[in-house]
């Protein structure tokens, strides 16, 4: 854990290789991101519970004999495993629905002029957001930059020409 200056964690969404990964910063999309994070956390926990239930079922399955109690215990852990699988499937469906609603993109973080004593300064700062959202957005930005970098290397002059900041003759 460490504190970082806001500028150090701003996703570089204006990078021409990843600009299509971002959507406008709309309140509805920001809420969907929060919902997505909650679903992903629940999905992670559900997958762990599913693995635990599967291991428990396997251990009872191997130990089952003719004993009625053992058969009943196996039925209970089998039901527990099926419930865990169902929960994982439900959460994966919710996650997919949220990703579709987001267009498989994330809203750009809102950047504002930093203020000190009520006066705007030259520095920029991110709008306040929950820690989980900031982490999610940073990971999303890093993954997309990495993916874009693997597909095609970054060419600064070409990028400047595309952005209209450099003539093609230069």
- In 3-state terms the chain splits into helix, strand, coil percentages (rounded to 5) of 60, 10, 25
Helices 68-101 and 27-63 cross at an angle (nearest 10°) of: 160
pLDDT in single tens digits along all 170 residues of the chain: 444 444 444 555 555 667 788 888 888 999 999 999 999 999 999 999 999 999 988 887 776 566 777 778 888 888 999 999 999 999 999 999 999 999 989 998 877 777 788 887 777 777 788 889 988 988 898 888 888 777 766 666 776 676 666 666 64
Taking the complete model, does pTM exceed 0.75, yes or no? no
Q: Residues 100, 38, 44, 75: is their CA dihedral positive or negative?
A: negative
Tell me whether strands 111-116 and 119-126 are parallel, antiparallel or unpaired. antiparallel
Mind listing the pLDDT tens digit for each residue in 40-63?
999 999 999 999 999 988 887 776
As a residue count, the chain comes to 170
């Amino acid at each position: 854990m460490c504190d970082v200056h806001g500028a150090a964690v701003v996703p570089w969404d204006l990078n021409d290789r990843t600009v299509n990964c971002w959507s406008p910063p709309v309140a509805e999309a920001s809420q969907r991101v929060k919902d997505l994070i909650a679903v992903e956390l629940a999905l992670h926990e559900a997958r762990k519970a599913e693995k635990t239930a599967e291991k428990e079922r396997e251990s009872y399955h191997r130990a089952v004999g003719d004993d009625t109690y053992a058969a009943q215990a196996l039925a209970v852990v089998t039901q527990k495993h099926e419930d865990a699988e169902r929960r994982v499937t439900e959460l994966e469906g919710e996650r997919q629905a949220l990703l579709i609603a987001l267009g498989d993109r994330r809203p750009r973080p809102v950047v504002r002029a930093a203020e000190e004593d009520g006066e705007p300064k030259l520095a920029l700062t991110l709008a306040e957001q929950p820690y989980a959202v900031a982490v999610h957005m940073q990971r999303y930005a890093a993954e997309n930059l990495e993916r874009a970098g693997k597909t095609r290397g970054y060419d600064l002059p070409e990028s400047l020409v595309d952005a209209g900041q450099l003539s093609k003759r230069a």
